[in-house]
Amino acid sequence: MKRYFCSFLVLISLFCSAFGQEKPTAFLNARIIPIIGQPIEQGILLVQNGKITAIGDARTVRLGSDVQIIDLKGKVIMPGLIDTHSHIGEGSGADGSAPIQPDVRILDSLNARSSSLQRAQTGGITTVNVMPGSGHLDSGQTLYIKLRDGANKVDDLLIYLSDGRYAGGIKFANGTNPIRPGGGNFPGTRAKSAALVREQFIKAQEYKAKITKAGDDKTKLPPRDLAMESLADVLDGKRVVHFHTHRHDDILTVLRLQKEFGFKVVLQHVSEAWKVADEIAKAKVPSSIIMIDAPGGKLETMDVSYVNGAALEKSGALVGFHTDDYITDSRHFLRSAGVAVRAGMSRDKALYGMTMAGAIMLDMQDRIGSLEAGKDADFIVLSGDPLSVYTHVEQTWVEGKSVFNRSNPLDYLTAVGGVGATNDKLVHLDCFDGYEGGQQ
């Protein structure tokens, strides 16, 4: 077994030296759908140090002699998919003690080794907004993660912003989910729900005012309040509100709150968007929608429709998509675009919705969502037309590293399922082939 281990070490060192040189990699001959800009036939995508350094074709991109070539003839490349609302990673948020808990972070509960993250990679998803549930008016802070490979702890998944913070939003909900008649301090009606939320935002405004007033005099600062800090970030536009909302009247309530407090908001689910698409567009508020195969399942979604994407597009509103995994399986996420087109959305806007629109909703449009020089090298390789049922996601790349390859047997098992597919696997298990406990 020692022999295996030695050869493994040699492999590792080879890998490291190769990586240390930061050789550029060129992905050649695929049809590239960059989302921003026209599709490129026989395209070239040049990647180095986790970033896209050039995109174009043989006439516009010059390749150096040190470049590594990956030939993807007959394939399609598009940006990694962005799931703007998911529950992968087994995270949790607020507890039953109060309906509004802005201090609670899903960060503190996420299982970075969960196989649900690997399943999402096989679906072509590279960035995810992982959210706590909708049983509270505010169930806490959400986390934007990159589905990097080999993650062992949540820190390995974080996306750091220029000011040193990690990226994330905050989850709010209205309608019936947070309503618990007789549930102590939880709301019993929709009006009460709105009143409780307004109350907290007004407190946050006052908290912010105290900080402003204190200026440089630290003795005058209010005592640290984690909940208020979080809501102050929301009021400052540093933390996007992801607002679970279904019925048209609840949607309008979100727009009313947004107008009153000026926060950045993404409407989540928006099951009855088609009834108030013009109002949503007029408020310039984006919508993240989900494709559900039948109406109902709960009263609030009795009028949910595939047509939401088309209706919002027609009204001029920004549309993205989400899995709400476990409601729909991350492995089928690309299907959302196909079904939206079936119901009248344009192909371009549907693919934009799977990628760039999500980036805008997560405030990361400068880093992800399209294939442009300078952006993160997050992309997927497809076997054909992204809107065809027969198309498979064959490869997923995050920041220039392969995180899923359908030709790898373990990855294939995760992609299609089967015995052992949902067991949380050892990270890089395949490197240790031949290992037998204690004998190495």
Partner 1 sequence: MNNTIFTAETQSRRVFYKFFLISLCLCVSAVIFSFPVRAQIAVKGETIWTMAGEPIMNGVVLINNGKIEAVGTAAQVKIPANYRVISAKVVTPGLIDAHTVIGLNGYLNQPHDQMALDGSSPIQPELRAIDSYNAQETLVEWVRGYGITTIHTGHQPTALVPGQTMVAKTFGKNVDEATLIPSAMINVTLGESALAGQGRSPGTRAKQIAMLRAELIKAGNYKGEPRDLKQEMWKKVLNGEIRLLVTAHRAQDIMSALRLAKEFNLKIVLDGVSEAQIVLNEIKASGFPVIVHPTMFRAGGETDNLSMETAAKLKAAGITVALQSGYEGYVPKTRIVLFEAALAAKNGMSQRDALATITIDAAKILGLDNRIGSIAVGKDADLAMYDGDPFEYVTHCTGTIINGKVVSEVLR
Residues that bind partner 1 (CB under 8 A): 292-299, 301-302, 326-327, 329, 332, 335, 337-339, 341-342, 387-390, 392, 416-422
CB of 31 to partner 1, least distance (A): 18
Residue closer to partner 1 by CB (options 77, 337) is: 337
Element (H, E) at 199: helix 190-214
Residue closer to partner 1 by CB (options 53, 346) is: 346
Distance separating alpha carbons of residues 108 and 95, to the nearest angstrom: 13
- What six digits make up the tokens of 100? 């509004």
Cα distances (Å, whole numbers) of residue 158 to 125, 153, 320, 406: 15, 10, 22, 25
Residue closer to partner 1 by CB (options 48, 405) is: 405
CB of 267 to partner 1, least distance (A): 17
Residue closer to partner 1 by CB (options 50, 384) is: 384
Q: How many residues does the chain have?
A: 440
Distance separating alpha carbons of residues 270 and 266, to the nearest angstrom: 10
Element (H, E) at 412: helix 409-416
- What six digits make up the tokens of 26? 């060129």
From start to end of 75-209, where are the E strands? 76-79, 81-86, 125-130, 138-141, 143-146, 170-173
CB of 429 to partner 1, least distance (A): 18
CB of 306 to partner 1, least distance (A): 9
Residue closer to partner 1 by CB (options 141, 305) is: 305
CB of 23 to partner 1, least distance (A): 36
CB of 405 to partner 1, least distance (A): 18
Residue closer to partner 1 by CB (options 259, 298) is: 298
Do 360 and 366 form a contact (C-beta atoms < 8 A)?
no
Residue closer to partner 1 by CB (options 37, 297) is: 297
Distance separating alpha carbons of residues 129 and 91, to the nearest angstrom: 12
In Å, the largest CA–CA distance within the chain is 71
Which pairing describes strands 393-398 and 170-173: parallel, antiparallel, or unpaired? unpaired
Do 289 and 317 form a contact (C-beta atoms < 8 A)?
no
Residue closer to partner 1 by CB (options 190, 392) is: 392
- What six digits make up the tokens of 292? 């559900």
CB of 361 to partner 1, least distance (A): 22
The count of other CB atoms within 10 Å of the CB of residue 259 is 11
CB of 348 to partner 1, least distance (A): 14
